[in-house]
Structure 1
């Protein structure tokens, strides 16, 4: 995944309300809002995929 693709994913997650970002000097801090993500289940991999992405599992 290149930087442009990663940025698009972050923007999509932010627009959907799953993620927010905050500037702290030169750093950007990201906050996950997991309560809005559908639970694990058949046909729904959004939460699993997001958790896997951010925890490197």
Structure 2
């Protein structure tokens, strides 16, 4: 994911009434690793996640 904001994300906890603050929770729930960095080209940042897929037996 990318956006034009240069502020790197920090994990937080959104309450049920909050209208924002769930992005990292959605990325972190199914993933094995994640990270964020200021974009080398352009404006803003990018957030990346890694998913390890285990085949079913």
TM range (shorter): 0.3 to 0.5
Structure 2 length-normalised TM: 0.32
Higher relative contact order (CA 8 A, sep 6+): 2
User: Which of these two proteins has the greater Rg computed from alpha carbons?
Assistant: 2
Higher helix share: 1
